[in-house]
Structure 1
Amino acid sequence: MKSNNSLTPSYFQFTVFADYGPLRYLFFSLCLLIYMIIISANVVIILTVCLENSLHQPMYIFICCLSLNSLYGSAGFFPRFLMDLLSDTHFISRPFCFIQIFVIYTYASYEMSVLCIMAYDRFVAICQPLHYHSKMTFRTVLLFLIFAVLYPVCVFGCFFYLATNLPLCGNKLHRIFCTSVSVFQLSCVDTTAISRVGQVFAVISIFVPLSFVHYTYLCILLVCRRSSSDFRGKALQTCLPHIVTFGNYCISLFCEVSLSQYNVDVNPFVSVALSLEFLIIPPINNPLVYGLNLPQIRKVIFRCCKRPNMNEFL
């Protein structure tokens, strides 16, 4: 009988990557450009919120947290992905694979948690404006953010522990990045119970926050119907970016969960595209939506961009 050590590979191999020949340099350049855009756009939002005193308010702090999370999730995916695009072999060591799993999964959960907190913030601001400053204090915001960070760590820590201790009978991952589901599928023992728990948790992680956000915006809609057109315009101005961001993220996350949890049989190119959407679109979408649609942030960014030109004429 083989020991667990002999059953556990020290590395994994990604099998989705194909030999694109010289085209891989084009793909590498495009993906590197996307990564640079993600870094630049999110850093601009973070610096704008941190350096401008007028933006030290809950809504903008949460936007800053979204940008920080985008940098965190992108760092867990892009450096390794860019290496694989140029490499002839696509092996990843066992420790780095599990680190990537932890980073990407906690990134996904952080994003959903912060978006839910933002929905509650808008709900209180519009539906209970007289109580906003008493409810959304600095201490409350800090507690919300601590919960948003610790909850995914505790939950995914359990799955992470189970994945690292499973005896594995293979090392081929049919993905472009490591996932816990793809690792469980290599197990030498029955993981049906773990998979069922993972599926239930995945559904809960998407539909409970989705239901909560729908409820908050239904309440906001009812308040806006009874209010003046000027009030509706201001409410729409602050809520629309969040609705767009949340809707886009839910679609991306649903595609990724369907692809990984339920073994959806799709074309490899479609599989790669859906995985890239989950990891690329939200980090690009967030700073663009909030930076271009919220006048408070847009005004500060434009003012900073014009400042060097003003100094030239002084």
Structure 2
Amino acid sequence: MMDNVSSMFFLSGLNETKNLRFTIFSLTLLCYCVILLVNFVLAVTIILDKNLHEPMYILLCTFCINGLYGATGFYPKFLWDLLSPVHAISYSGCLIQALVMYTFACSDLSILAVMAYDRYVAICRPLEYHSIMSKQRLTKLVCFSVITPFSVISTNIFLSSRLKLCSQYIARLFCVNWIIVTLACFPAETILNNIVAYITIIVYVLHGVFIVWSYIYLIKACVYSIEQRKKFMQTCVPHITSLVTFLFTILFDIMYIRYGSKDLPQTIQNFIAIEFLLIPPIMNPLIYGFKLTKIQNRILGFVNFKIKS
């Protein structure tokens, strides 16, 4: 039985990639820099341009900041592990990393749900949009998308911290709460963890149901109106693309954990595990940057100004 407070966890996900270590380091550093660049540029563009201080763009800014948060919770430690002969993390560090990974993923889904609500009001109830999406309500929705995931996941992590563990080995590149729970010496003690975990899953499945419900109404509202269809294509398609990308990366990992073959090469298993930390943080800012005209014009205008200077 481990002394949790003073113990270390050993991450075994990199054990079979020693020969490719520097190649993976270079590619990972490049990906991390791209994630930082595209999310930072989009977030700063929205913050500095008062013409973009509208609910849709403020939510997008929150989306980008969350991408920076999630990436920073994983990539610096992963890059350090690639250069280190021992891939270890302290017990408290492991819990913090698990908290960051889960809150990042859950916040992404919460922000997508709020974005769906914003688009529903904008297209289905345009005359009431500014009264419904007031600054006060927008602030509450942004707080909801950040504080709720943190509160829910903190509860899960706290329950995991109470468990006595019998192993120090995590077969992943980063700490995951469900793996920590499986390391418990006494499975009977994990009943409360499992109950809270299922409640968490239900909460975020309901987020998905709400998004689907919103888009059913959006599609109905746009079927008979060319103007509404144009608005839908301009502002909703990026949101749908982000949602599909997020769900694909998360569900693919979950399905692999549940049904996948453990005979796959470790490199492929690692890629599946970090998809949600790689694809959405890069794709989302690019999708919105290319599709939303106001942002595209603002960024191009800034680039042209710098070139002329």
TM range (shorter): over 0.9
Is 1:150 matched with 2:150? no
Distance 2:167 2:192 in 1: 18
**For 1:265 and 1:198, how far apart are their aligned partners in 2?**
28
**1:146/1:6 Cα in 2 relative to 1: closer, same or farther (>3 Å)?**
closer
Partner of 2:191: 193
The residue correspondences of 1:102-251 to structure 2 (distance < 5 A) are 102-190=99-187, 191-194=189-192, 196-197=194-195, 200-201=198-199, 203-227=201-225, 229-251=226-248
Counterpart amino acid of 1:81? F
- Following superposition of structure 1 onto structure 2, how do residues 1-314 of structure 1 map, counting pairs within 5 Å? 6=3, 10-190=7-187, 191-194=189-192, 196-197=194-195, 200-201=198-199, 203-227=201-225, 229-259=226-256, 262=258, 264-266=260-262, 267=264, 268-311=266-309
Q: How far off its partner does 1:223 sit?
A: 0.8
Asked whether the equivalents of residues 206 and 250 of structure 1 are also in contact (C-alpha less than 8 Å), the reply is no
Kindly provide the CA deviation profile for residues 168-220 of structure 1, in whole angstroms up to 9, marking residues without a partner as x.
Answer: 11100011100111111111111552454255245424432222111111111
- TM-score normalised according to structure 2 size: 0.93
Deviation at 1:100, TM superposition (A): 0.3
- TM-score of the two chains, using structure 1 as the length reference: 0.92
CA 1:124–1:241 in 2, change beyond 3 Å: closer, same or farther?
same
Secondary structure of 2:174 counterpart: coil
Contact 2:103-2:153 within 8 A present in 1 as well: yes
Could you tell which deviates more after superposition, 241-250 or 181-190? 181-190
Identity %: 34
Q: Is the 8 A contact 1:117 1:144 kept in 2?
A: yes
Determine if contact 2:17/2:267 at 8 Å carries over to the other structure.
no
Comparing 87-96 with 124-133, greater Cα deviation is found at 87-96
Residues 97-106 or 186-195, more deviating? 186-195
CA contact (8 A) 2:120 2:217 kept: yes
- Give the Cα–Cα distance (whole angstroms) in 2 for the partners of residues 213 and 6 of structure 1: 44
Distance 2:220 2:39 in 1: 33
Q: In structure 2, how many angstroms separate the alpha carbons of the residues matched to 1:195 and 1:6?
A: 20
Q: 1:258, CA displacement in angstroms?
A: 3.7
Q: Secondary structure of 1:92's partner?
A: strand
Q: After superposition, what is the alpha-carbon deviation per residue over 1:250-269, rounded to whole angstroms, capped at 9, x for unaligned?
A: 11122233455x47443233
In 1, Cα distance between the equivalents of 2:17 and 2:248?
29
- Give RMSD over aligned pairs: 1.9
Alpha carbons of 1:242 and 1:88: their partners in 2 closer, same or farther (altered >3 Å)? same
- CA deviations on 1:53-72 (whole Å, 9 max, x unpaired) are 11000000000000000000
Judge conservation of contact 1:241–1:289 (CA < 8 Å) in 2: yes
Partner Cα distance (1:7, 1:67) in 2: 35
Query: How far 1:231 moved relative to its partner?
Result: 3.0
Cα drift, residue 270 of structure 1: 3.1
Residues 1:265 and 1:181: Cα distance change in structure 2 (over 3 Å) = farther
Q: Secondary structure at the match of 2:165?
A: coil
Structure 2's unaligned 5+ residue stretches are none
The answer to whether the 8 A contact 1:76-1:100 is kept is yes
